[in-house]
Structure 1
């Protein structure tokens, strides 16, 4: 009791454990004042030296640096497309279900979806990562209504399979749970909902999404749901579709190629129409030759595959700067599209976005994605922004 009182009196109960030991040694007169002072100084110096050194030498994101291609473009045709579906709040689930619906799961292109409910850790509770198959979910962390909605969708779509997980963690480590699950399940795509509005919560979620974009071991898609993407109904064994009308903006680079492959998957549905607009710079100014060759290859492959598909339209636009890029997008926007699909930023010719940097408010969407999702953009279409996996290893 005397020792406890001593610690409390000197207010060292939450300080470095070494200092507590030193204080106790001093109390029972093992150490004199000079020795005590020396040990405190040594402990302080060691802490000041080791803390930054550890942060330099230890990189917690290193496990996510993979050399294997884990993206939609290189996903084998005989393998399920594996998706990690991130759910930050229950209102976003309807839009995410509609996105999975138009991703066109089929016999030859099934979907394996790992639905991850992300809950912020409050207070001093212990972080949890729960696999619903193997572990019991505490009552306070259950999201039964959302799971039932996803299971109902699974019953209607025989080529979609769900597995459910719950992550309870502080904001600073949320992205690690997302990346780790993607790594362990060999996912090709992470889908993140876009949270509208400001506030501390949405700012924190925005930070999590930026961390995922920076460190994800696979491709990432951010879905801006405006609530008007047509849904699909099934009665008995027959599908009854509402016509989908999509537009894909191809500004070149890895992200645009990944977005085009995803759009190609969607257009395999005969009830989907897709307009692809490819942008060129005047006299190919600012082009990266290697990137342009890769772009030509994938666009040619896409067009050869869909040349006879009357629901596919391909157009080309030549621009000289960012202002003409915006004008070209606005010229084709008649307000009738249900979904805009764009690449985020990798490989975009800088000529296309010259002078647009001050327009962007949401870094995670990229310049063009932010523009077509803004309230000032005519129409009420949802937006899908795609970033292809960044090979860092």
Structure 2
């Protein structure tokens, strides 16, 4: 591109480079200070970064002559343009790489309608505003280009700003946040495509160049798929691909983007498509996400947003015509998105509150419109110099983004209950749209069984399932750091101590996940938590909130030895499980793995027989709801074993005698009857829907006390590879009376503790489910 050639050919490249790096450092430092202050009021990072650019730019500090001479040099503009292009290339590729493709597919119609609402209203308002401004500012040349800039400035939604703002506000995993990102991408792609088409047909000889760039993008997508597959297979025992291979992918991306920009086209669409179509499985994608995410979110985007604010010069508002223009465009831009989005949301039957948030999110600016403005020919800009079109559009973009960011943060803070994660148990929620689940492992020992659980849910439900796998790693009290210089690290190693935590378990876990993803094409999102066991539960519960999961599966602290006995692991694992069960804002399952004899990944070669034990109570109903979700798996045979109590006349007379003496016991019995009615209704509904159709087996067992229950469990323990049972919540059930006398692990409940103990001598794995409680006072 022309700016790159000018930047490389300056007579003294050292000073412009110093200026560029000093400006970036200043933006980072000032934005960090602003963010520390503004986050107390719920304001996101992009607002602080744009404000930092304004402070450092000609609006404030650069008004000082010495500062102005240092930061604003004619030769630095070319460096800024090149760096801005590279930054934009990287984060558009990263957005495509992190895009939730299954959600995008099933929500494409909804996102397109919302984007279309803003685009249609934006075009109509943009035509009216551009005609008015042509008369007001006395624009006499390049009228089509001027109208295009005004329409795009009102219509466009900057997807990187929307993506980052939603992530900062912990809103990205919600339906509204993901819908806003999809709609902003569609809107931005429309604006970029519109401008690209206008360039391709004026003159018509550019049309062939545009088609060539499209073919080049498709070819590069194919090359990336081949190279990624080759890199994944070449390296077997490492978590990441080598630095050399990473740089090859990065070079291909940046080179293609600069080549497209050289001919005046916008490379945003190509970069996004390259990321969107990049293969999701394997070490290559993991490496790109790891290295690009850290650099993008901690350096690239803050500097990019800061540079947007740096270009603003508020002195332009000192003149009447520019001031009127800016006010009109800001008002019309907000009206465009609010009106268009609310109309679309009304058609889609989306609530008004959600529509207002979507409208302000889609009003965020700062990407395509600035790039299109910077790509205009110098002759055109000189003809508009008197009207200062560049300064006015830039002012509108900056002020609009700050206003929209502040308003969205305020609405989310005021409407926190409405937009926060809704805590609904599996029993109550049908999960017609999506089930989000989180599986936790402390090491590689139980990774195969956790992948089996993920497989059981992912391949059973007709509705989408989003799965997360979290590796919980203990942070040692004392750690000796490696005193290695960068050149002493092996190729592919990370210059970070945190990456060393987890040891060989990390590689084994990643290999197992990669193999499963390659086989089934089911994507598992991986995360790692490195913390002391005393505080690890906080990170887990925070992740539950951020990821909006409905159920979490923990690993039991005991593991099975070769002789079949259960051996305890670290005490910190049990402590973490206890705290997660007490504080988790979702349902919790504890998985007791029996190794090769227990539950495995269901397949045509390994059909799994699973039984759900139902005694009654909310936890057992949650266990039955969990079982219902896996009953459709073609390689799972599910059986419901319904334990029922044999009524005893002596017990009935004794109970009636006490009822007359104790009103509190009467209330307790009333609650017990209510729970019993709910149990009967739930099991009857399950029976009618699944048992009568032959999809699920059904067995009834009648017992009087805990001794008979234990005997019945011994009779069935080797028949199934997995037993699912609720933790408790049954009250003082006669069916489990006396079973708690030998209880070792209360977190599993009376039945689950017996099934997990070595005394039962079972080969079945056990999954104990605890239903999410709105009140933690009733944990048992």
TM beyond 0.5: yes
CA–CA distance in 2 between the matches of 1:380 and 1:121?
A: 33
> Retained in 1: the 8 A contact 2:421–2:545?
no
Residues 148, 70 of structure 1: CA spacing in aligned structure 2 closer, same or farther, 3 A cutoff? farther
CA–CA distance in 1 between the matches of 2:584 and 2:440?
A: 13
| Structure 1 residue 274 displacement after superposition | 2.1
2:572 matches 1:208: no
2:724 matches 1:335: no
Query: 1:165-193: CA deviations, max 9, x gaps?
Result: 22111111111111110111111111111
For residue 354 of structure 1, the aligned residue among 737, 747, 751 is: 737
| Structure 1 residue 306 displacement after superposition | 1.2
For residue 728 of structure 2, the aligned residue among 342, 345, 348 is: 345
Residues 151, 137 of structure 1: CA spacing in aligned structure 2 closer, same or farther, 3 A cutoff? farther
Structure (1 or 2) with the greater helix fraction: 2
> Retained in 2: the 8 A contact 1:272–1:311?
no
Query: 1:87-124: CA deviations, max 9, x gaps?
Result: 11121111211222223435623321222111112236
Residues 81, 320 of structure 1: CA spacing in aligned structure 2 closer, same or farther, 3 A cutoff? same
For residue 119 of structure 1, the aligned residue among 473, 496, 519 is: 473
| Structure 1 residue 364 displacement after superposition | 1.8
* Residue of structure 1 equivalent to 2:755: 372
| Structure 1 residue 70 displacement after superposition | 3.0
CA–CA distance in 2 between the matches of 1:314 and 1:226?
A: 25
* Residue of structure 1 equivalent to 2:432: 78
> Retained in 2: the 8 A contact 1:118–1:168?
yes
* Residue of structure 2 equivalent to 1:54: none
Residues 272, 361 of structure 1: CA spacing in aligned structure 2 closer, same or farther, 3 A cutoff? same
The 5 Å alignment of 1:267-306 reads 267-283=631-647, 288-306=672-690
* Residue of structure 1 equivalent to 2:256: none
Residues 195, 240 of structure 1: CA spacing in aligned structure 2 closer, same or farther, 3 A cutoff? same
> Retained in 2: the 8 A contact 1:230–1:242?
no
* Residue of structure 1 equivalent to 2:285: none
- Which 10-residue stretch deviates more, 381-390 or 280-289? 280-289
SS in 2 for 1:283: coil
Q: TM-score, normalised by structure 2?
A: 0.37
For residue 156 of structure 1, the aligned residue among 501, 519, 540 is: 519
The 5 Å alignment of 1:40-55 reads none
Query: 1:216-245: CA deviations, max 9, x gaps?
Result: 100001111112246457xxxxx6342221
For structure 2, list consecutive stretches of 5 or more residues without a partner in the other structure.
Answer: 1-416, 480-495, 560-565, 653-668
* Residue of structure 2 equivalent to 1:261: 625
| Structure 1 residue 334 displacement after superposition | 6.2
Structure (1 or 2) with the greater strand fraction: 1
CA–CA distance in 2 between the matches of 1:378 and 1:276?
A: 22
The 5 Å alignment of 1:13-28 reads none
For residue 313 of structure 1, the aligned residue among 667, 675, 697 is: 697
2:456 matches 1:93: no
CA–CA distance in 2 between the matches of 1:240 and 1:338?
A: 15
* Residue of structure 2 equivalent to 1:187: 549
CA–CA distance in 2 between the matches of 1:145 and 1:315?
A: 40
SS in 2 for 1:90: coil
The number of aligned residues is 313
* Residue of structure 2 equivalent to 1:250: 614
CA–CA distance in 2 between the matches of 1:334 and 1:164?
A: 33
CA–CA distance in 1 between the matches of 2:681 and 2:675?
A: 10
SS in 1 for 2:445: helix
* Residue of structure 1 equivalent to 2:500: 140
CA–CA distance in 2 between the matches of 1:186 and 1:325?
A: 37
CA–CA distance in 1 between the matches of 2:646 and 2:694?
A: 30
For structure 1, list consecutive stretches of 5 or more residues without a partner in the other structure.
Answer: 1-62, 126-135, 234-238
Residues 230, 200 of structure 1: CA spacing in aligned structure 2 closer, same or farther, 3 A cutoff? closer
> Retained in 1: the 8 A contact 2:588–2:769?
yes
> Retained in 1: the 8 A contact 2:610–2:636?
yes
Residues 386, 100 of structure 1: CA spacing in aligned structure 2 closer, same or farther, 3 A cutoff? same
| Structure 1 residue 267 displacement after superposition | 1.7
CA–CA distance in 2 between the matches of 1:244 and 1:116?
A: 25
- Which 10-residue stretch deviates more, 170-179 or 371-380? 371-380
Which structure is larger by alpha-carbon Rg, 1 or 2?
2
- Which 10-residue stretch deviates more, 317-326 or 81-90? 317-326
CA–CA distance in 2 between the matches of 1:138 and 1:97?
A: 25
> Retained in 1: the 8 A contact 2:599–2:722?
no
Q: Which runs of 4+ in 1 moved over 6 A?
A: 284-287
Q: TM-score, normalised by structure 1?
A: 0.72
CA–CA distance in 1 between the matches of 2:744 and 2:534?
A: 22
* Residue of structure 1 equivalent to 2:73: none
Residues 255, 151 of structure 1: CA spacing in aligned structure 2 closer, same or farther, 3 A cutoff? same
CA–CA distance in 1 between the matches of 2:537 and 2:550?
A: 16
The 5 Å alignment of 1:51-66 reads none
RMSD: 2.9
> Retained in 1: the 8 A contact 2:725–2:767?
yes
> Retained in 1: the 8 A contact 2:588–2:770?
yes
CA–CA distance in 2 between the matches of 1:110 and 1:67?
A: 18
